[in-house]
Structure 1
Amino acid sequence: MGEHGTDHGYLLDNQQSEAGIRFGALAELFDPVTFRHIDRIGITKGMRCWEVGAGGPSVPTGLAERVGTEGKVVCTDIDVSWARDAASDVVEVLRHDVAADPPPPGGFDLVHARLVLVHVVERAEALRRMVQALRPGGVLLLEDADPGLQPLLCPDESGPEQRLANRLRSGFRELMAARGADLSYGRTLPRLLREAGLADVRADAYFPITSPACTVLEAATVRQIRGRLVAAGIATDEDIDLHLSHVATGRLDLATAPMISAWGRRP
């Protein structure tokens, strides 16, 4: 683990080699959900979108296809190295801290953040800035995890492999909580959007119960945090090697925390 940097809320540092693998797995799991909402909202030719904390290039690229050459996608992150592949005439990639920097200028028809705010310590300020960036009639779509709603990696805890998986996942959640992550944040999104003055607020939730992408995501995540799990006394190296060997068989049914998607319109 990169112990050298500042140890703010990010347990999963974007610059590590596993991060690219994680972004790819998250895109495979959640892009269909994200774009179902974006298409329901009605993002079409000529619109302006702000993608906050993009991670990989898949969402900005999909937005660019929808808004076309007359539209604009501004894609921001603290670390933009992963999103650079999306840069084009339509997609502008900017290094930006959503909780500290003013919103990109111009006003937006859509502001979207997926699995971002749960990691941002100043999340209320970040939300305020995103709402401020909306044009009248613009929509804010926030998608964030709620591990508290479904905390298990293996909801079907049928044997010792599944019990070990759930014990390690529980330890990972303890580390996240100790760093200021709110493990019941997702469920608060509808209320936060209403309190921010948005109208027509709706929300739903999604999580896979088993998927090859969940297997890839779990292996990459555990490799990324194993040093912290061991240092915190949550697991031994032997525990982690055993769990990774179970994951590698592809026979564990691994889930994720529910991702709650909430959206509302600026009057």
Structure 2
Amino acid sequence: MGQDKGYLLDNRQVEAGTRFKALAELFDASTFRHFETTGIAEGWRCWEVGAGGPTVPAWLAARVGPRGHVVATDIDVSWTGTAATEGVEVLRHDVARDEPPAGPFDLVHARLVLVHVTDRDAALRSMVRALRPGGWLLVEDADPALQPLICPDEYGPEQELANRLRHGFRRLLRQRGADLSYGRKLPRLLREAGLADVEADAYFPITSPACDVLEAATVHQVRDKLTAAGLATDEEIEQHLANVASGRLDLATSPMISAWGRRP
């Protein structure tokens, strides 16, 4: 992802691959539906920003065909590199600081990227600048503040513990510059950036086996930071992980806001 130094969920950790797979299972169908909205066709040039895992670049490459081209960028390409197939160029790139890849592009897409970037305004300007006239920008980002509970149905101590740990995790995110209300701002920000035909919607899984996998991997990644900050004990984290593994928790994700617009 286009993360700054101190990004909480390090791509180099082994759990990152598990997280990318779970995120793909949860959100790829919604993302691909939004790609269809843009009218993506053979021959398009696409820039996938903060690609993370390989599934989205691979889908784009299959859709644009041999006459098209897909550039997949990330500040850490540890996992994106597996997407390097015919038609996909993988580049190490910081969307907030580096010049855009050689364009212009028919479609630029970023998912779960800008919420973590401190200079997200510069990143958004860079993506808009890379569009051809008539090209589409699709930005998808979470809005944890819209729904702060990982267990919306907080009916017992297991759910209360899950929600308390989630509050601690989001506190760590805020301390690293994440904007937990960013998703709702996307339609306005796309209009202010000069895009036309702006629309947005939200996708919000309430429970899924992939939500369980995502939560376990996330907690494993941040447990040391949670305990160091006094936000949870090792015992509480072990109990929560056991609760997740039991399959009895209905774990939700933050609402994913998808906003898209066209460069005039």
Same fold (TM over 0.5): yes
* RMSD (CA atoms): 1.0
Partner of 1:174: 171
1:9 and 1:119 in contact (8 A); partners too:
no
2:207 and 2:250 in contact (8 A); partners too:
yes
Residue 165 (str. 1) matches residue 166 (str. 2): no
Cα distance per residue 1:76-113 (max 9 Å; x no partner):
00111211111122000001111111111120000000
Of residues 92, 98, 113, the one that matches 1:101 is 98
Partner of 2:66: 69
Residue 243 (str. 1) matches residue 243 (str. 2): no
Partner of 2:181: 184
Partner letter of residue 41 of structure 1? T
- Contiguous gaps of at least 5 residues in structure 2: none
Partner of 1:209: 206
What is the correspondence of 1:51-90 to structure 2 with a 5 Å cutoff?
Answer: 51-90=48-87
Q: Matches of 1:89 and 1:214 in 2, distance apart?
A: 32
Partner of 1:50: 47
Partner of 2:223: 226
Q: Matches of 1:15 and 1:191 in 2, distance apart?
A: 34
1:53 and 1:114 in contact (8 A); partners too:
yes
Q: Matches of 2:211 and 2:103 in 1, distance apart?
A: 38
Of residues 119, 122, 146, the one that matches 2:119 is 122
Q: Matches of 1:60 and 1:237 in 2, distance apart?
A: 38
Query: SS of the residue aligned with 1:88?
Result: coil
Query: SS of the residue aligned with 2:144?
Result: coil
Shift of 1:181: 0.4
Q: Matches of 1:96 and 1:164 in 2, distance apart?
A: 38
Cα distance per residue 1:28-76 (max 9 Å; x no partner):
0000010000011111100000000000000000001110000000000
Query: SS of the residue aligned with 1:180?
Result: coil
Instruction: Determine what percentage of the aligned residue pairs are the same residue.
Output: 75
Of residues 79, 88, 92, the one that matches 2:89 is 92
Q: Matches of 2:6 and 2:260 in 1, distance apart?
A: 25
1:9 and 1:121 in contact (8 A); partners too:
no
Of residues 129, 133, 137, the one that matches 1:132 is 129
Shift of 1:9: 4.6
Q: Matches of 2:5 and 2:150 in 1, distance apart?
A: 25
Q: Matches of 2:78 and 2:151 in 1, distance apart?
A: 33
Q: Matches of 2:250 and 2:86 in 1, distance apart?
A: 42
Shift of 1:7: 7.7
Q: Matches of 1:49 and 1:9 in 2, distance apart?
A: 29
Please identify runs of 4+ aligned residues in structure 1 that moved more than 4 A: none
- Contiguous gaps of at least 5 residues in structure 1: 1-5
Q: Matches of 2:21 and 2:217 in 1, distance apart?
A: 11
2:203 and 2:257 in contact (8 A); partners too:
yes
Query: SS of the residue aligned with 1:205?
Result: strand
2:46 and 2:106 in contact (8 A); partners too:
yes
Cα distance per residue 1:222-259 (max 9 Å; x no partner):
01100010000011000000000000001110001000
Partner of 1:12: 9
Q: Matches of 2:63 and 2:4 in 1, distance apart?
A: 38
Q: Matches of 2:240 and 2:4 in 1, distance apart?
A: 26
Q: Matches of 1:120 and 1:243 in 2, distance apart?
A: 29
Residue 257 (str. 1) matches residue 254 (str. 2): yes
Cα distance per residue 1:106-157 (max 9 Å; x no partner):
2000000000001111100000000000000000000000000011110000
Residue 31 (str. 1) matches residue 51 (str. 2): no
